Each structure stands twice: as structure tokens, then as C-alpha cells.
Structure 1
Amino acid sequence: MISFNYETEFELHNEDQLSVWITNAILNEGFRQGEINYIFCDDAYLLDLNIEFLDHDTLTDIISFDYTLGKLISGDIYISIERVKENANDFDVTFDNELKRVMIHGILHYCGYKDKSGSDQAEMRSKENYYISKLS
């Protein structure tokens, strides 16, 4: 089950389409979908989580808590709508495109993709682009 929760003045208008997209990406990566919760929030909300759980006093666009067991993908994905808007502006892409990138980014982490090294970042970006193209 994929659920979408809102802790800020924002709401998706295509939840069903996005749920199918996310499920298809998980299946395509060889996993099964468990319980995935997206929580859309603002910078302050996400900063509090970053400080409390990760001991990072910095703004970020996404924090994911991975509860995956074996091939069953589950987790909570917190996304700052403020950061996504700013990043979209900084990267000269649409808000919608950047939001899709961040949403699938969390799922790809659950599937085992990393983004610490340059080669890992390139692979992650390639996968993000691939799945974004599947939704467009």
C-alpha cells in the first residue's frame, strides 16, 4: 500500500497514477511493494527530523526511513515541498519533474542504490531519469 500524507499546504492531484508508477518501479527492480508512506512537509518539519534522528542540522529535500525486509519494500519518505521548489529553480527544471525525481529517489534507495560516490550518483541519476520518463 502506498499512502500520501500532507503536513503542509500541498496536495498531489494524481495519487492513483503515482501509486501505479511507484509500484511498477519497485516490481521492475525485482522487489515487492509493502507499506510505503510519503509525508509531504515544509523545511522546518524536515529539519526537526534531520536533527532528531540523523543528528544533522541542515536543510534537505528528503529523508527516508527504510523498513525493507528482504524483497518487500517498505518505508516512510518525508519530502520538503519548500526544498523541492527551491531545487527545481536552482536546477532549472519544473517543480513537477523535481518532485518526481525526489519521490523515486527514496524508492531507489530502498532498492539498494546508493549516491555517495560519483559513479553511484551517476547510476542513481540514470535510474531516476529512466523512471521519470516512464511517467511522462
Structure 2
Amino acid sequence: TTHARLAELLAHEHASLALAQRCSGVAAPAPLFSALLNYRHTTPAAMSGSAPNDGLEGAEWLGGEERTNYPLSLSVEDFGEALGLTAQVAEGVAADRVCGYMQRALEQVAEALEHAPNTPVRDLDILPAAERAYLLEELNRTAAPYPAEQCI
């Protein structure tokens, strides 16, 4: 039954975003998506454009730049032996903070899988130490001078 239902969905695989927005029930002008998570399998040959038969013989890769219209776009690069994180965020949000959260979450998931695989995800400590200090100490500094001769 599941296979048959999935096969029926293939007809909609290339539906336009405009059609998806109309069918979603999300009222305009609210966006259908506000964040994008992209997991990419990346090989060194693909990055350099030097894979055999890639059709790019004689071409030199000079670089590239990604853009997004989403307030948050997080890409996880899977290099096989390591992971890389790239965040594109709206103005006023620090990309390094977003990557710090994701790195800490990935570290905690890997550690839990290795040492305590039955740990519920809700029990993982995903807050980096520097972020915890910032949230609990820096943002909670409420001491302010008050003239001792005045009543409250």
C-alpha cells in the first residue's frame, strides 16, 4: 500500500512552488518555507571539477557563491570522512552561532549513538558552552545603578 501511494505521488514530483503554495492552505503573503536544510554528498573530485568524464576537461574552477531568499539556509556537506557546515542567514543573525548549534547537535548525536544509543533526542545537550554562558550570564545581567536616596 505504501509503495502504491508513493508511486502515485511521483506525478507531483515536479510541481511548481506556486502550485504547492496554493494547495498548502497557508494564506498569502506568509511564506510556505522560512528555512532550508540541504544535505550534500560532496567528493573532492566533484568539488574540483576533475572527476573522470565530467565533461569539464580543460576548464578551471575559479569559484562560486551561493545565494538564498530564505531567512535561514543551512547546508551540511558530507565529505565522506568529515562534515562541513555552511549557514546563510538573514541580517542580524550570526551564521557562526547557527553553525555552532548544529555542530554541537551533531556531536551529541554521534556521542549518544556510540555510547548510549537508547538516549532520547530530547535529552541531548545541544547548547554549546559559549552559547550557554551568553544566554544565562550575559543576557541575564540585570544589575543597574539606582540612586540610594530615592524610593522605589
Structure that is richer in strand per residue: 1
**So what's the TM-score if we normalise by structure 1?**
0.30
Structure that is richer in helix per residue: 1
**So what's the TM-score if we normalise by structure 2?**
0.28
